[in-house]
Amino acid sequence: MNPGHALAGAQFRAIILSTAVRDLCGSRDWANRYERIMLNEFNWDQRYRVSGVEDVLTPALVLYPDLIAANIQQTLNLLEGDADRWRAHIKTAKLGFTLHMLVERGIRNFKCATTLELLVACQNGAADVLLAYPVMGANARRAQDIARQFPGVRISVLAENEDQVRQWHGSRVGIFLDINPGMNRTGIEQSQTDRVVRLSRAVTDDGLEFRGLHYYDGQFGGLIDGEGKSERTQAAHRGYDRLLEIVNELDRSGVSVPEVITSGTPTFPSSLTYDGFRRGSFLHRVSPGTIVYCDATSLEQLPSKYGYQPAALVLTRVVSHPHPGIVTCDAGHKTVSADAGIPTCLVLGHPELTPLSPSEEHLPLKVAQEGTAPQVGDILYLLPRHICPTVNNFDCALLARNGDIDALERVSARGREAPLLKTVEQAFSLDRNR
């Protein structure tokens, strides 16, 4: 079926139940106010069409390098051309190919969440990588192994307590203290300034490098910005005020803060308008990752005037007409991540199709009464609701330029490393051979 219609939307809804967001944003009924429509319109563009699909095994991840380049350039434009202000999170990029695109444009500072991502970043031109996860035990030892393997790369990690600091004793790995902005995922509570000061001193007392503060305020992604409202920006700025209070207290205590990292994709625009980051004595870096590819959520969160475009889609085939008004394609939740809720995606060029709840390998689509159902075997193009874990579902990605499949690239940072350290693996192999 020829996708040629304007994309009207599926409705993406989410409820925020976080006490922290209520505290930061006021006493109104946020459980009701946060329910909202996400992306509701995106016009089909012929640049997304791929020829030769008869030879493509579906489902398939398709990346569009020209659009990736445009998204990277737009981010640099918003940062006034200063690539050093962007510590790009590679949880989205995942491919060595995409990392090379970033490095070629001057982005050399990265952030990652797994030891495999750390390894891939080091292998593909990174100069400075933050493993932005509170790694412990064997995971910490593996990070130290990678740091020794790549002495020319500046590597750092997160810590929120003294045990996490002590495990890096004697290493060249730097330490960022993780601050909990109210997301309640990891980090030191913002109100515990004394604890932050004590821990920063513990870092230097142990002979380690104190790199600064890490602050991921992802809980504000569903608040509305635009259309005369600035709920997300107001909430983010209140959090940044608290963050700067911590920085000021560290300064008063004689602890210099070299770098402050904030702002994933949802609050990236908010950080650009916060004057305190420009006036600070520290280097402020933002850390969005999703904007490299974009998805149905980020395209709603980011102002349309910014000009970001989807640069990654999922190619899928219709495989069944199981019931009147229902068609099924081969893009279940092992293909398009369902972590952000239902629907998991939008169908480009087909406003008459609404994705329903997926199973592992199947995605049913509801056909509007006035719509025409696609035929079994037809190709559809899906824009994921959350691209980061969707990319992680694929071993390989197709690169499409000018409508043609130009190359096949491995998703080199997907999944995780083998679960045994090398020394343990060797011992395990010896035991099995006895």
Tens digits of residue pLDDT in 10-41: 333 333 233 333 344 443 333 333 334 356 55
Q: How many C-beta atoms surround the C-beta of residue 375 within 10 A?
A: 10
Q: Is the peptide bond before 59 cis (omega within 30 degrees of 0)?
A: yes
In CATH terms, the fold of domain 65-305 is: TIM Barrel (3.20.20)
Across 187-201, 297-311, 419-433, which has the greatest mean pLDDT? 187-201
Nearest Cα to Cα of residue 290 among 186, 218, 349, 187: 218
Whole-number Å distance between alpha carbons of 269 and 266: 7
Tell how far CA 377 is from the center of its chain: 32
Tens digits of residue pLDDT in 35-53: 343 565 567 889 999 999 9
Q: How many C-beta atoms surround the C-beta of residue 58 within 10 A?
A: 17
Q: How many C-beta atoms surround the C-beta of residue 45 within 10 A?
A: 14
Q: Do domains 6-62+306-402 and 65-305 have the same CATH topology?
A: no
- Alpha helices (H) in 94-192, listed in sequence order: 96-104, 115-123, 138-149, 162-166
The answer to whether residue 140 scores a pLDDT higher than 50 is yes
Tens digits of residue pLDDT in 338-382: 999 999 999 998 989 999 999 999 999 999 988 899 999 999 999
Nearest Cα to Cα of residue 378 among 334, 325, 316: 316
Domain boundaries, the chain: 6-62+306-402, 65-305
User: According to the CATH classification, is domain 6-62+306-402 in 2.40.37.20?
Assistant: yes
C-alpha distance from residue 150 to each of 125, 144, 145, 154, 208 (Å): 11, 10, 9, 9, 18
Tens digits of residue pLDDT in 89-115: 999 999 999 999 999 999 999 999 999
Reduced to 3 states (helix: H, G, I; strand: E, B; else coil), residue 114 is coil
Q: What tokens appear for 16 in the block?
A: 């925020």
CA angle, residues 108, 154, 182, in degrees to nearest 5: 80
Nearest Cα to Cα of residue 14 among 413, 385, 331: 385
Span 248-269, average pLDDT: 97
Mean pLDDT of the chain: 89
Tens digits of residue pLDDT in 278-336: 999 999 999 999 999 999 999 989 988 999 999 999 999 999 999 999 999 999 999 99
Q: What pTM, to 2 d.p., does this model score?
A: 0.90
